[in-house]
Every structure is written in structure tokens, then in C-alpha cells.
A and B are shown apart, each in its own frame.
Chain A
Amino acid sequence: MEFNSREMWAVIHGLILGTLFLLAFAGGLAGLWSLRPGFMTTAGIKERMGRLYVGAWVMAAASWAAVITGTWIVYPWYRVKLAPVGEDAYAGCVDAILPNTSCSPRDFLKSNVSGSTETWHAFGMEWKEHVTWAAPILATAAAFLIAYYGPRLIARPWLRAAVIVMFVGAFAAAVVGGAFGAFLNKVAPIV
């Protein structure tokens, strides 16, 4: 039972960093949501804020690590053109049922040799590869705001709501990436 190098990087990018991001998001959102007047004692605020700072920065760090590994390590394996032979852009994909050494995942999806798959690339991958870069930007800005204001957010409900909007925005961008990443890895796995 083993992973090759590419499978291992796909696991690190999607499963490990994605799970870390989700865990940090869930904890961070719960912490932010409960930063309300009258909910905690002074001692409780001190204890809660420490975890919130860690959760927010872990979420930001996980999202940076996910987009950097995804873009610079996994994505080139997805998009490399292996199939063209002469004028035929997808000659290497003939009779393929999955991507292989002569048909990259992008070649495979665009060739439609195994059903109607082109939209997985044209919509799914094209959306995922771009919008996920919004996640670390929003997560970092939200972590900065949480660290900058700290417990002061308790007394400022509008500001807390604004931070939650940014926090959830980062999550939404990551969901697009994570969901399409999982689907694409089913339809056209990295080989």
C-alpha cells in the first residue's frame, strides 16, 4: 500500500491541507460568532482569544500552502500537453478510459474520449484554479483583523460581522476549489 510522488502531493494539497483549513475555519467561525457582549467572563475572553488567534492564522497558513502546492506542484501535471501528435491535439487519448502517460488529465477531459467531459475542464478547473486564490487573501486579512482588534471585536458587532463575511468568503472560495478538486480527481486523476 503506497502512494507515488504525484498521488502524495495530491493528498497533501487536497486532503491534508484542505482538512486543516476546514478544521481551522469551523473553530474560527464558532469563536468569532460567540464574541458577543455578555457571553463570556473576562477570564473566558482571554482563554477564547488565544484559540481564535491560532485558528485564524492556521486557516490562513493552510490556505496559502494549499494554493501554492496546487498551483506550482500539482497543476503542471494536470495541464501538461501530452496527447498532440501532428495535427491531432488529442491523438494520445484515443481509447483512453483515464488519463495516462500519453494523455494528461486536461487532454483527457478536453478530448471527450470517455463521455462528455470537456465542461469539467472549461468550467470546473477554470473556476477552481482562479477563485481559490481569493481564499488566502481573505483568510489573511481576516486573521489580521482578529489579531489587531482582539477582544475589542466583542464591543463592535458590525465589525465582527464584517470579519465573519471575510472569513466565510475565504471558506466559500476554498469550497469551490475543494469540491471541484475532488470531482476532477475522480473523473481525471493525476497520474
Chain B
Amino acid sequence: MNTRFATDTKHDVEVAPELAGLNLVDKPDGPAAAAMLSAGIGIFMLGFFTTGAVISASLKSFLAWWEWGQGVGPLAGKSTVAVIIWLVSWAVLYFVWKDKDVDLKKMFYIGLGLGLLGALGMFPPFFELFHS
């Protein structure tokens, strides 16, 4: 039996004897936590910009500026800026946590909550509530 996983400090580890032949080394959870949390941040920003563009004309103009004359409108800025924020947050969190064991479940659920808020912000019956 592979005791590496049986004695793993990760709280959700099961014994998997078939992994013994692969000689896997343990990896820190920090990079995974960074990926989970930053995905939630990115989706939250998509929702934030979608609803925000309905509420604020100046934000809508700023987001439309990102279309570079291609006729995409504010969607250009909503998607581009959200993706930039996602990538930057992922990079920052990755370098901060790359050698650490971060509470993966906590970061997953925070990311999930942010993602659900973002999904709400992109749902037309929700953001249309703010149309003046």
C-alpha cells in the first residue's frame, strides 16, 4: 500500500495503491487555490461590468473604448478588462502561494460564490432592474 497518500496532510486524501508505481511527489495546494479563486474573480468582474455598464454611462463609455473601432461596443471592454483582471489576479496569487498549502476548500467556495455573483450580474432580468 502506498503510505504517502495515507499520511498526506491534505484533508481529503484517500488511499490509492495504484499510484505507488508512478512515484508521485506531493505538490502544494497554493497554485490550485490561485486558479480557483482567480477564476471566481474573473467571472465576478464580467458580471460587475455587465451590470455596471447599465448603471453608469461613464463606465459604459470606458468599456466601449476597448473596441478599437471594431463595432463590438461595451462588450469589448467587459470581456477584455475582466480577462486582464483574471490573469493578473491568477499570476499574483500564484506567485504568493506557489510553495504554500492554502485551504483549498475555502478558496474554492469563495471562488464559487464570486462566480455565482458574476453569473447573476450577467443575467438580463437582473441587470435590467437597474435600467433607468
Contacts and interface: CB of A to CB of B under 8 A. Distances in A.
A165 interface: yes
Contacts of B46: 130-131, 133-134
Contacts of B70: 72, 76
Interface in A103-122: 122
Nearest to A169: B115
A129 B18 contact: no
B115 to A, nearest CB: 7
Contact of A141 (B19, B20, B21, B36): B36
A127 B122 contact: yes
A138 interface: yes
B24 A151 contact: yes
Given A40-B18, A76-B72, A156-B12, A67 B79 contact: yes
Interface stretch (A2-10, A16-24, A86-94, A142-150): A142-150
8 contacts: A42-B22, A46-B22, A80-B71, A130-B78, A133-B82, A140-B39, A157-B12, A162-B104
A149 B8 CA distance: 14
Contacts, number: 124
> Per DSSP, are chain A's interface residues mostly helix, strand or loop, or mixed?
helix
A79 interface: yes
A137 B83 contact: yes
Given A71-B72, A145-B32, 7 more contacts: A37-B14, A76-B70, A131-B46, A145-B35, A148-B35, A156-B13, A159-B32
Contacts of B78: 130, 133
Interface residues of A, number: 44
Interface in A1-56: 37-38, 40-42, 45-46
A152 B27 contact: yes
A73 B79 CA distance: 14
Contacts of A145: 32, 35-36
Nearest to A42: B21
A138 B43 contact: yes
A190 interface: no
B24 A159 contact: no
Contact of B39 (A38, A122, A138, A158): A138
A10 B61 CA distance: 28
Contacts of B12: 156-159
Q: 6 tightest CB-CB pairs across the interface, nearest first?
A: A76-B71, A42-B21, A158-B12, A155-B16, A141-B39, A130-B122
